[in-house]
Chain A
Amino acid sequence: MSADNAEPALLVDPAQRIFKVARRNFVDREIFEAEKERLFDRCWLYLGHSSELPKPGDFITRSVAGRNILFARDSKQRLRALLNTCPHRGAQVCRERKGNAKSFQCFYHGWTFSADGKLRGQPGEDSYPEDFKARSTSNMQPVPRYESYRDFNFISFDPDIVPLEQYLGNAKEYLDVICDQTEAGMSIVAGSQEYSIRANWKLLTENSIDGYHAVTTHASYFDILMNTTDNMSAGTGGGFGYDLGGGHAVLEYGAPWGRPVAQWIPGWGEAGKTEIARQYDNLVALYGKERADRIALKNRNLFIFPNLVVNDIMALTVRTYFPMAPDYMVINAWALAPNDETAWARKYRLNNFLEFLGPGGFATPDDAEALEHCQRGFKNSKEALWNDISKGMGKDKPSHNDELQMRAFWTQWNRLMFPTPVPSIKDVAA
């Protein structure tokens, strides 16, 4: 199979500053199948945010890497991630997208479970042995691994995976910077953007941490931004891309747009100026000027391998995505916001979000168009074999609009997909 054949997936030669990615990786069905096993069954995957389930009995059903997951808060306030399938004959137990329930009943034969997955009762109990309910096999099964970090909840289908904090590694510190915008905790704002792109999922990974495309792909957005920012005088000043290890990567940079925490733009008027100053002063009081400046004025596009993006930019967005076919992915995106922000700040945050982000915004549709046209271009991949992501190779400190971040992703992708490097080709990446 081509997921195991001798053709290299990457061509890397640091001395000559060459880093190429085989376009086959975006179109090949066997690669797509191998990714399920070697990546999505082996990594920590984002499930949801604790704030989405504020009360005991709250639940959400969500699809993660093809599984149906029931994410619920049980009566003792504990969050649970269960495989949403009846231990009896397999039917999906919970068929609602979200809600609040004391128990979950499978409608097929009427088995009833509590939010911790325990079997509470089933019709015809006298036909089962006395200890049937006490057997763990009678309960809804938890996902093999479930852990959370600062209210970001992850699951893994690999029982032997390293603990989440170890997996997050250097990415943890960036999540901290983002979560430290307030002491009051963060919540997901109601409303989920659920969309799709007719392109390979890895194109969205690249696009989410691509500082290079903005000026051309988003020219029409920057035209609009000029009207609200006094011709882009505020807050620019470049930035850097970082390989965080483990396939995680981040861009950290200054930008001309307003940040709800906390960079004011003229378009927000005097009311906004007061509010943003209050936010900023609060951060200085909490963390000192240096860290406050980093939290308030720097933007971060944080990528957590293999499919989570937390963008701390003109708004704060959490985005995860899954391949459905080599050329089709589904995306879920949410807005995250400090619990203690004022109604004014919440309004302007969402306003900012929609201007740039999401499938009805002034930028995301053009990203989707670019990705779909890459996928179309890959129809020529038998003849035109390689993508080039070498920009900034060899620099001591690659800029945020270089392509180090993508190289970090692809190096880890290659490591997991092809654990034994093809020996006959000397410049295949490790």
Chain B
Amino acid sequence: MHSVNRSDVEDFLFAEADLLDQWRLPEWLTLFTDDAKYEVPCTDLPPGASPDSNLFYIADDRTRLGERVKRLMKRTAHAEFPHSKTSRIVGNVRIRSRTEDEIEVTCVFQTLRTKDGTTDLYFGSSNYRLAIDGDTFKIREKRCLLGSEGLRPSGRISIVL
């Protein structure tokens, strides 16, 4: 890959958001490395907290992320049946550091979810570790730091942020 610049990263993150908005979750899952992590800490924890010793909302390794996707595609994932509609905006994308084969990226997100006549907003910032993979990236780590105090009134994270 040529020297990575911000628009490369933006293209990738916008494409990721688009896959999620379209509920193409199995395809979205292929964006992750085999050792990937997807994490959403509780909002009263410091941003660098470890899920091994702190209670999170979500702390998936690649295996559980796979289970999450499999589950969400079933009718028995009742909270998301029928599927909610979502609209994600990703912005303020910045490359924070880079090595030969990996970059660290931060961005902000605003995700609207609507179902059964109710619309909720999820917002905050995301920290990504992206592995450089030929002409594109793979997600090694995605940590979403909610900007809200707790999950009120949205109540739950039944979608992927």
A residues within 8 Å of B by Cβ? 97-98, 189-198, 217, 219-221, 223-224, 227, 328, 330, 334-335, 343, 346-347, 350-351, 353-355, 358-360, 362, 364-366, 368-370, 372, 376
Within the complex, which residue of B43, B74, B76, B157 is in contact with A360, where a contact is CB–CB below 8 Å?
A: B157
Contact string against A for B residues 30-49, beta-carbon threshold 8 Å, 1 for contact and 0 otherwise: 00000000001111110001
Which chain B residue shows the least CB distance to A195? B151
The residue in chain A whose Cβ has the minimal distance to the Cβ of B156 is: A359
Known: A193-B42, A194-B151, A350-B51. A362 touches B71 (CB 8 A): yes
11 cross-chain CB contacts under 8 A = A97-B44, A190-B53, A190-B55, A194-B152, A195-B151, A223-B76, A330-B152, A354-B51, A358-B57, A359-B156, A366-B78
From B56, B150, B152, contact of A354 by CB (8 A): B56
| A377–chain B nearest beta-carbon distance, Å | 12
Is residue B134 contacting chain A, with contact meaning CB distance below 8 A?
no
Shortest distance between the CB of A360 and any CB in chain B (Å): 4
Bound CA–CA A376/B115 (angstroms):
13
Q: Given the complex of chains A and B, what is the CA–CA distance between A335 and B56 in angstroms?
A: 10
Instruction: Identify which of residues 142-161 in chain B touch chain A, using a CB-to-CB cut-off of 8 Å.
Output: 149-158
Bound-state CA distance A335–B53 (Å) is 11
User: Assuming the A-B contacts A192-B44, A362-B67, A366-B79, are A353 and B153 also in contact, with contact meaning beta carbons closer than 8 angstroms in the complex?
Assistant: no
A191 touches B49 (CB 8 A): yes
Residues of A within 8 A of B80 (CB): 365
9 further A-B pairs in the complex, CB-CB below 8 A; given A196-B153, A197-B155: A191-B42, A191-B49, A192-B44, A193-B55, A193-B57, A193-B151, A195-B150, A359-B157, A365-B157
Residue pair A219, B76 in contact (C-beta under 8 Å): yes
Residues of B within 8 A of A334 (CB): 55
User: Does B68 touch A at the CB level, under 8 Å?
Assistant: yes
Residues of B within 8 A of A353 (CB): 55
Shortest beta-carbon distance, B87 to chain A, in Å? 20
Provide the residues of chain A in CB contact with B77, threshold 8 Å. Answer: 220, 366
Q: Which chain A residue has the least Cβ–Cβ distance from B42?
A: A191
- Kindly state the separation between the CA atoms of A394 and B52 in the bound complex, as whole angstroms: 46
B118: chain A residues at CB < 8 Å are: 198
Question: With the chains together, A390 CA to B75 CA distance in Å?
Answer: 29
Chain B residues whose C-beta falls within 8 Å of the C-beta of A195 in the assembled complex? 150-152, 155-156
Q: Which residues of B contact A97 (CB under 8 A)?
A: 44
> Which of B41, B52, B154, B155 gathers most chain A CB within 10 Å?
B155
Q: How far is the CA of A97 from the CA of B80 in the complex (A)?
A: 33
- Bound state CA distance, A197 and B149, in angstroms? 15
**Is B25 an interface position by the 8 A CB rule?**
no
Known: A198-B155, A359-B157. A350 touches B52 (CB 8 A): yes
For B79, the chain A residues whose CB sits under 8 A away are 365-366, 368-369
Indicate if B98 sits at the interface (CB-CB under 8 A): no
- A346 to B51 alpha-carbon distance, docked (Å): 10
The minimal Cβ–Cβ distance linking A27 to chain B, given in whole angstroms, is 17
Contact A365 B156 (CB under 8 A): yes
B158–A365 touching, CB < 8 Å: yes
Query: Within the assembled complex, what's the spacing in Å between the Cα atoms of A389 and B42?
Result: 35
Is B6 at the interface (CB under 8 A from chain A)? no
B64 at the interface (CB under 8 A from A): yes
Task: Give B69-89 as 1s and 0s: 1 = Cβ < 8 Å from A's Cβ atoms.
Answer: 011001011111000000000
- Chain A residues near B155 (CB-CB < 8 A): 195-198, 359, 368
A7 to chain B, nearest CB (A): 30
* B44 nearest in chain A by CB position: A192
- Interface status of B107 (Cβ within 8 A of chain A): no
Decide if A191 touches B151 in the complex (CB within 8 Å).
no
State whether the Cβ of B90 lies closer than 8 Å to any Cβ in chain A: no
Query: A220 is contacted by which of B43, B64, B71 (Cβ under 8 Å)?
Result: B71
* B132 contacts partner chain A, Cβ-Cβ < 8 Å: no
Which residue of B is nearest A362, CB measured? B71
